[in-house]
């Protein structure tokens, strides 16, 4: 019986069980085997190094991917300071005199929507109605009404924002000893805005039982007024800010004060009980007597309704600069149509919240 052996496509006839192989093919087979064994040995020796290189390459790729991911992911916004604090100064000047207010305020952020704060303002006035014959003007100063605020902020539909402040004031003395109406005061201020590019149009709605000192988002026509009022009062303002350059804004607005029911006006320029005063022209009752309203009103201005003595409307313009944060500077101008009065205002606010956080950690 014949057998055939198969080697790399070569067939040789064999006799019996002995396999007959061509000598040249045997030599080639031995040489190929030797080369194959060398390749296998090199592969075994180099395989650890290759594995290490691949691992290092994989680690480098993973690290690069992590770094790229870290660079593409924006850093989280740090939380706002827990403690709120600011110092604010306001000053106004008109042909009637000068009024200046400085306020210290401290509060607490309860959450991202709600905050509370309290403040104590001091007031200084320069009046042309001097009781001293040696000077043409008279400086007087004293405490104004301490207050407490509750602030609320949230987002509205259509990318609008709401900011509300509920303020309560307390008279620590009567109206003849400090700058106050002698009554507890309440004020609800609401600000709605919707930023569109460089423009930030807004509407403000306010209701109170008399004008109060406003130190959070103060308006030029409310800063350091020469008078105070007592009686239900509504306040409306429509305007817009526009960003001229980074850190500088220009703003304009139109405002209306509309009283409801009986009103009283207390002057910050005419001293209590003083017979010195101005002529009261253009509805400027606060330029003539310390207190105007009720019986006092009918004696000085017969036939004038008491609900109209603190009605007002006009327009304001301002420039707001906050290059040097935490300092904010506002220069304003207001023209009152009702009182025919031009007033220039300056407001400076120092936000001490981050300073307090750096010192206390809150």
Is residue 20, in this structure, part of any structural domain at all?
Answer: yes
Q: Is residue 279 part of a domain?
A: yes
Q: Would you say residue 49 has pLDDT above 90?
A: no
Query: Could you tell me the maximum CA-CA distance found in the chain, to the nearest angstrom?
Result: 152
Is residue 77 in a domain? no
Tokens of 276: 């010195």
Query: Do 65 and 171 reside in the same domain of the chain?
Result: no
Calculate what percentage of the chain has a pLDDT beyond 70.
Answer: 74
Residue 273 belongs to a domain: yes
140 or 17, higher pLDDT: 140
Is 90 exceeded by the pLDDT of residue 324? no
Per-residue pLDDT reduced to its tens digit, 327-338: 999 999 999 999
Considering only 39-48, 188-197, 268-277, 328-337, which range has the smallest mean pLDDT? 39-48
Average pLDDT taken over every residue of the chain: 80
In a domain, 12, yes or no: yes
Record the tokens describing residue 260, joined without a space.
Answer: 């409801």
- Within this chain, do residues 261 and 351 fall inside the same structural domain, yes or no? yes
Task: Please check whether residues 153 and 266 belong to one and the same domain.
Answer: yes
Q: What is the mean pLDDT of residues 173-199?
A: 89
Query: Are residues 111 and 90 part of one domain?
Result: yes
CA atoms within 13 A on the CB side of 289: 15
- Please tell me whether residues 183 and 273 are part of one structural domain: yes
Q: What is the mean pLDDT of residues 131-156?
A: 89
Q: Could you tell me the pTM of the whole model?
A: 0.74
Tell me the per-residue pLDDT of 338-362, one tens digit each, with 9 for 90 and over.
Answer: 999 999 999 999 999 988 888 887 7
pLDDT digits (tens, 9 = 90+) for 91-122: 999 999 999 999 999 999 999 999 999 999 99
H helices present in the chain, as ranges: 23-72, 295-300, 353-360
- What pLDDT is recorded for position 204? 98
Q: Among 72, 95, 116, which residue terminates a domain?
A: 72
Residue 3: its pLDDT value, please? Answer: 38
Number of domains in the chain: 2
Do 13 and 87 reside in the same domain of the chain? no
pLDDT of residue 302: 52
If asked whether residues 29 and 139 sit together in one domain, one would say no
Last residue of a domain, one of 72, 94, 120: 72
Q: Is residue 78, in this structure, part of any structural domain at all?
A: no
Our CA dihedral for 21, 25, 31, 34, rounded to 10 degrees, sits at -40
Of the candidates 49, 72, 95, which is a domain's last residue? Answer: 72
Q: What is the C-alpha to C-alpha distance for residues 31 and 65, in angstroms, rounded to an integer?
A: 48
Whether residue 35 is found in the same domain as residue 92:
no
- Tell whether 294 and 337 lie within a shared domain: yes
Q: β-pairing, 341-351 with 185-193?
A: unpaired
Specify the 3-state DSSP secondary structure of 244: strand
Beta-carbon contacts of 251 under 8 Å, excluding residues fewer than 6 positions away, are 239, 240, 241, 242, 316, 317, 318, 319, 320
Give the mean pLDDT of 12-39: 41
In this predicted structure, the answer to whether residue 10 has a pLDDT above a threshold of 50 is no
Strand-pairing partners, residue 357, are none
Tokens of 15: 């006799």
Q: What is the distance between the alpha carbons of residues 50 and 56, in angstroms, rounded to a whole number?
A: 10
The pLDDT of residue 56 is above 50: no
pLDDT score, position 297: 55
> At residue 144, does pLDDT exceed 60?
yes
Between residues 230 and 136, the one the model is more confident about: 230
How does pLDDT run across 216-274, given as a tens digit for each residue? Answer: 999 999 999 999 999 999 999 999 999 999 999 999 999 999 999 889 999 999 988 78
Residue (of 256, 263, 325, 254) closest to 294 by Cα position:
263
Tokens of 105: 């305020």
**Residue 28 belongs to domain spanning:** 3-72
Q: Which pLDDT value is given to residue 69?
A: 44
CATH of the domain at 278: 2.40.160.40
Does 104 lie in the same domain as 9? no
The Cβ-side half-sphere exposure at 234, using a 13 Å CA radius, reads 5
């Amino acid at each position: 019986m014949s057998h055939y052996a198969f080697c790399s496509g070569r067939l040789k006839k064999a006799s019996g069980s002995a396999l007959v192989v061509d000598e040249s093919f045997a030599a080639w087979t031995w040489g190929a085997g030797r080369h194959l064994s060398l390749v296998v040995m090199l592969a075994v020796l180099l395989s650890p190094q290759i594995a290490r290189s691949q691992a290092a390459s994989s680690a480098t790729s993973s690290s690069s991917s992590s770094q790229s991911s870290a660079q593409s992911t924006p850093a989280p916004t740090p939380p706002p300071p827990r403690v709120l604090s600011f110092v604010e100064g306001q000053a106004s000047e008109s042909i009637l005199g000068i009024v200046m207010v400085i306020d210290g305020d401290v509060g607490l952020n309860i959450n991202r929507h709600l905050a509370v704060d309290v403040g104590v303002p001091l007031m200084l006035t320069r009046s042309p109605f001097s009781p001293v014959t040696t000077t043409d003007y008279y400086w007087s100063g004293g405490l104004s009404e301490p207050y407490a605020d509750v602030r609320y902020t949230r987002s509205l539909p259509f990318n609008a924002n709401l900011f509300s402040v509920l303020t309560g004031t307390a008279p620590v003395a009567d109206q003849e000893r400090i700058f106050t109406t002698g009554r507890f005061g309440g004020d609800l201020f609401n600000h709605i805005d919707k930023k569109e590019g460089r423009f930030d149009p807004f509407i403000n709605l306010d209701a109170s039982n008399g004008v109060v000192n406003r130190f959070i988002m103060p308006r030029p026509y409310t800063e350091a007024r020469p008078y105070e009022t007592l009686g239900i009062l509504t306040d409306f303002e429509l305007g817009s800010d526009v960003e001229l350059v980074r850190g500088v804004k220009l703003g304009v607005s139109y405002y209306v004060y509309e009283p409801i029911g009986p009103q009283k006006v207390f002057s910050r320029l005419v001293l209590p009980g003083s017979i010195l005063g101005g002529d009261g022209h253009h509805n400027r009752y606060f330029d003539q007597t310390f207190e105007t309203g009720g019986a006092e009103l009918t004696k000085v201005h017969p036939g004038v309704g008491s609900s109209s003595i603190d009605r007002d409307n006009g327009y304001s313009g301002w420039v707001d600069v906050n290059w040097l944060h935490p300092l904010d500077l506002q220069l304003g101008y207001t023209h009152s149509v009702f009182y025919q009065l031009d007033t220039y205002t300056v407001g400076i606010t120092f936000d001490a919240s981050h300073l307090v956080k750096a010192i206390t950690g809150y």
